Chains A and B, each alone.
Chain A
C-alpha cells in the first residue's frame, strides 16, 4: 500500500516565476491538505481539498492556489514567487468520514522549494 507521494523532491526557481507541486494521496483517502514549513518552523496550513473543491484555507495570499482531480490527487500552484516562498511543502491525505470528522492525516516526504 503506497503512502502519500509528492513530486518533485526538490525544485529551484527564480523570483516572479510560477511553480506547480504534485501530491498523490494514500490509497483510500479522499482529502488532501497542503502545508508550508519554513526552515526551523512547524508546518503552516495552506488549504485543504475535498471532492475537487477547496474546503478550508489558511492565511495565505491568492498567489497560492490548488486543484484536486477526480482520482483525489492534488496540485499546489504558487504564482509570482517571492524569496520568502522558499520552504518545504508538505502534502497530507486523510479520509473524511460521513460525520465530517477526518481520520488522521498522513504526510508525504515533501517538496523542497528554493526561490533565488
Chain B
C-alpha cells in the first residue's frame, strides 16, 4: 500500500532563516507525482510545489525547493528566507497517474519573528 510519512509534527524557524520539512513515501510504482501543499488557518489547501518522479531535476518555486531522492523515497521541502506568511500546516502528498492523492499527516510550521 502507498503511504506518506511526515515525521515532524511541528517545527519552528526564525524569520528570514531556512527550514527543511521531511517526507518519505512508500510505493512500488515507478511513475508518480509528489506534492507539497500548504494549509493556513483559513483552511484553503494551496499547492506549493510539484515533482514528477521521472524528472531527475529538483523542482523549485521561488523560495521553495525540494530535494527528491527517488531511490531513498524521500521528498523534503526547503523554505528559504522564511516569512511570517509561511506559517501553516504543510502536507506532503503522492499520486500515481490518475489515481487519488494520498496525504501525510502534516507538519505544523511556526515562524518566529
Using CB atoms and an 8 Å cutoff, list the residues of chain A in contact with chain B: 33, 35, 40-45, 48, 56, 58, 88, 90, 92, 96, 100-102, 104-110, 112
Interface contacts (Cβ under 8 Å), in number, total 55
Instruction: Name 4 extra pairs, CB < 8 A, besides A33-B101, A44-B103.
Output: A45-B102, A88-B43, A110-B43, A112-B43
A101 to B102, CA, bound (A): 16
**Contact of A106 with B43 in the complex, beta carbons under 8 Å:** no
**Contact of A100 with B98 in the complex, beta carbons under 8 Å:** yes
How many B residues have CB within 8 A of the partner chain? 23
Q: Mark B86-113, 1 if CB is under 8 A from A, else 0.
A: 0000010101011111111110000000
**Contact of A100 with B45 in the complex, beta carbons under 8 Å:** no
Closest to B99 in A: A56
B50 beta carbon closer than 8 Å to chain A? yes
Closest to B92 in A: A42
**Contact of B100 with A33 in the complex, beta carbons under 8 Å:** yes
- B94 CB, nearest partner CB in chain A, Å: 11
**Contact of B98 with A107 in the complex, beta carbons under 8 Å:** no
- A89 CB, nearest partner CB in chain B, Å: 11
